[in-house]
Structure 1
Amino acid sequence: MDGYLVVAGVLAVGVLLVVAGYTARRLLAPSDPSRAKLATYESGVDPVGEHWAQTRVRYLGYAFLYVIFAVDVVYLFPWALVLRTDLGPASLVEVAIFIGVVLLGLVHALRRGLLRWT
């Protein structure tokens, strides 16, 4: 039972710290809401039209490609350095599966048109 009491105590202290932080912010922070402060603000541009609009995120594709290539390098480079020693056939199968998953990501990027130069 002692372990549960310790966990309950840590949880209680954590909740008290969060409540104390919110209370201190509420008491100490200045509050002067106005129409200009409550207006939507996005990157220094005043909003025009509807307050909600769905936009196309183009950089998400580049982030996807970066993750594919970064993960590829992070895992294959150390494996290639250790390859100088005898790793056995199990390691070769594991790397083949890993490269297959990376190639699957590249095929997905190719099908979405992320690898075009246009």
Structure 2
Amino acid sequence: MGNLDHLKLLRTDMEANGWTISSFIFVYKNIKYVVLVKLFIGPIKKLDQYALVQLEFMKYNDIQDNYIVEANSNGLIDDIKSIRKYFEIAYSPNLGQLMKQFAQTLNSVVPPSSSKSK
């Protein structure tokens, strides 16, 4: 999909500081999301062996409207249709490039350390 290398840095920092959850704000297509970054501890179980963290996207103005997905440094780990549906990404013949751009946009706001999270 794309490159989310900041997730690996954030996870390492969270582990070093004893944090199990962190958060940041993500704006995509003029919609503001609160993103929770969760380590796989306790009730949060890893489904994909390559997942680094679990992300929970919640619309800022309606936190009940959420999307939970695992992610690694390559991108979100889910079928493209589910990602497109939640983030309202229209189908396009160059969908692979759109998903890469989405991941790069997300990566640009992922804090590399938990101390920089909001």
Larger Cα-atom Rg: 1
Length-normalised TM-score, structure 1: 0.26
Q: Which has the higher contact order (CA 8 A, sep 6+)?
A: 2
Length-normalised TM-score, structure 2: 0.26
Higher strand fraction (1 or 2): 2
Higher helix fraction (1 or 2): 1
